[in-house]
Amino acid sequence: MIGFYILIGAISLVSWLISKKLKDKFKKYSKVQLRNGMSGAEIAEKMLADHGLLDVKVISTPGMLTDHYNPQNKTVNLSEGVYNQRNASAAAVAAHECGHAVQHAEAYSYLTMRSQLVPIVSVTSKFSQWLVFGGLILGAASGAAGIGFYIAVAGLIFMGFATLFSFITLPVEYDASNRALAWLKNKNMVSQEELAGATDALTWAARTYLVAALGSLAMLLYWGLQILGGRD
């Protein structure tokens, strides 16, 4: 179990460092005011209109870094700071979330796969660790061939769904950022300085998803070795 705690600690530390760096980047580029004077909400509405997505609404949502696209009701939800602000960070986030709306409209394959996995992962993520821990405890009492082993394997499979979801999320997020930056550049929505800031901010945002995916994979491999490694 010592190895488990070391792994958890390492993943948590890296995740915290990336998250802190991301917040610092957004704070830095929130001071780079847009020369066109547009707010995040106006940027989003313009990008949606340019892609013919007139049925997607842009709304404000409470909190910080709570921005997201909801495919069920077709809304681009921007945090209050992004919705109202007129800086490079706001432009980057607003355009990125609209990138997801464009993906949805175009039936982007990875977004479709991720959406299909959501109901599965919402269930399996709640029980995976309980099944693994419970299975290992039962296995220690009943032996390698007992029911505990099969319960632990079921938990491992449940973990596998979460890991798969994390890796499918990567192309979804990177593609949304690429769409956002291409639109900002091609439509001359930002200056070179503003574009550089938006690019840097979105790059660090994408790294949070990369760390999450690698962390999920590391946990899956660790428990896989614990469950399967001791069998003949």
Active site (annotated) includes residue 97: yes
Q: Judging by DSSP bridges, how do beta strands 57-61 and 68-70 pair with one another?
A: unpaired
DSSP 176-217: HHHHHHHHHHHTT-S-HHHHHHHHHHHHHHHHHHHHHHHHHH
List Cα–Cα distances, 37 to 41, 46, 48, 97, 138, in angstroms. 12, 13, 18, 20, 63
Of the residues 42, 45, 80, 97, only one is catalytic, namely: 97
Q: Give just the sign of the alpha carbon dihedral 181, 185, 187, 192.
A: positive
Token pair for 131: 């099944």
CA distance 97 to 105: 13
Q: Looking at the DSSP assignment, which residues form a beta bridge with residue 41?
A: none
Positions annotated as catalytic residues are 97
